Structure 1
C-alpha cells in the first residue's frame, strides 16, 4: 500500500476535483506534493486552444500534469459540471475552487458586480453538492476583506444545503509553485495580491434518517 502524502488539507488518498484552474499551477502544486496526480481531476472553463494564449505557463503545467497521471478537462462550467459527461457519475472527497471570480463587467465594489460573483459561487456550490461524497468537503478560497466579504459565502452555502465546517487562513507560500491569476480578458495572465483570505470548508447537511421520521410520526398518536 502506498504511503499517504499530504499538503495542507489535501491528501494523495483523496479523490480531488479542481475547478476554474486558470493556468493549472495549483493542480500541479498538489500533484508534485503527492508524487502523482492519478487521484485528481483538474478543470477549467477555457478551451485547451486558448490556454496557451491566456496563460504563459499553462501548456507546460498541463504537460507535467499529464505525465503525473492527472485527468484534465476543458470547457467545464462550474454551474453545470454535475451534468458533464465525464463527471456526472463520479463522487469526490474534495472539490476545490480557488478565488472564484465572475469577471470585470461591473466594478467589484458595485452591488451588481457582487451579485454576479455570488451567482457564480451559488451555482458552483449547488453543482458541487451533487458531486461530493457523503463525508466529503467543498473548498472555496476567497478574500475576506471588503468588498469580498460582501459575497457572504456562508449565507450562500446555507441556501444550497451546505454548512461551514471551518474557515482556515490561506497562505500562498504553503503551495509551492502556485501562481493565482486574474483570469479575465487581457488581465488573464496577471497575478493579484491575495491579501487576507481564507479557505472556507463546507460539507453537505445530512437529512434525518427515514426511520426517525417514521418514529416521530408514530409518536404523535400516543
Structure 2
C-alpha cells in the first residue's frame, strides 16, 4: 500500500453504509482495510456518501478556490461506477451490472457525478474514472456525460489502460453484494482536468479592479494637489478623504 506524507490528504468514500459494507464484504475484512487506510495512508474514510451530491457531505478539510469553499481536491477518482440493478423476480435470468435496461439510469448517474466532482476540484485538478469499454458499458458514452454534467468545465485529457498490477490487493466486485468479480481486461481509466480559464479570468478581473482603484486614487490625489495649489489650504473634507 502506498504511504503518503503528512502534507498529503486522502479521503476515501463508500456509497454503502458501514453496516452494509460489513454484510457485503465481511466485518473482519473491512476492519483490516479501513485500519490500513487510516494508519498507513492517513486517510479519512466516510461511508454512505452519494457521489452525485458531494455537497451534502463534510469531506474533510476545505480550502478557498474562487470563493467556493468546496473546491478542495487535486483529484477525484471513481473506479467502475454503476447503479445497483433493480431486483428481478426469481428465474428472470437478469442480474448482471450494466444491462441495457440500466443504460439510461447510469448515464444520469455519470452526469450528476461529473457535475458534483467538478465543484470539488481546484483549478487544474483531475477526475479519473475507470470503466469497461465492451457493451453495454460502451453505450453509456462517458465522455458525453462528462461534457454535459460538468458544463464544459472538465477538459478530457485521454485514457490509459486500467492495469490491476498498479493496484495491489484491488479486486473488482459486483455492486452492493460484494459477491462475484468481473473482468477488467477491457477497462480504461479516463482522465479529465478542470479548466484553469475561470481561475485565470477571476485573477485577471481582480487585478483589473485593483488597477482601476489605484488609478482612481491617483486621480483623486491629483485633484487634491491642484486644489491645494489654487487655495493654498487643504480643507477638512480633503483631509477626511485622504484618511479614507
**Higher share of residues assigned helix:** 2
| TM-score (normalised: structure 2) | 0.66
Question: Cα distance 1:50–1:36, how it changes in 2: closer, same or farther (>3 A)?
Answer: farther
1:52 aligned onto 2:22: yes
1:82 aligned onto 2:82: no
Structure 1: where are the runs of 5+ without partners?
A: 1-31, 213-222
SS of the residue corresponding to residue 2 of structure 2 reads helix
Highest Rg: 1 or 2? 2
| TM-score (normalised: structure 1) | 0.72
Q: How does 1:1-222 map to 2 (within 5 A)?
A: 32-34=1-3, 39-56=9-26, 57-68=29-40, 69-86=42-59, 89=70, 91-105=72-86, 108-110=98-100, 112-159=101-148, 160=150, 161=152, 162-184=154-176, 187-205=177-195, 206-207=197-198, 209=201
Provide the rounded CA distance (Å) in 1 between the counterparts of 2:159 and 2:56.
29
Provide the rounded CA distance (Å) in 2 between the counterparts of 1:155 and 1:35.
34
**Higher share of residues assigned strand:** 1
Q: How far off its partner does 1:209 sit? A: 2.9
Structure 2: where are the runs of 5+ without partners?
A: 61-68, 88-93, 206-244
SS of the residue corresponding to residue 102 of structure 2 reads helix
Structure of higher RCO (CA pairs closer than 8 Å, 6+ residues apart): 1
SS of the residue corresponding to residue 127 of structure 2 reads strand
RMSD: 2.5
Provide the rounded CA distance (Å) in 2 between the counterparts of 1:158 and 1:148.
17
SS of the residue corresponding to residue 109 of structure 2 reads helix
Question: Cα distance 1:86–1:39, how it changes in 2: closer, same or farther (>3 A)?
Answer: closer
Provide the rounded CA distance (Å) in 1 between the counterparts of 2:165 and 2:59.
33
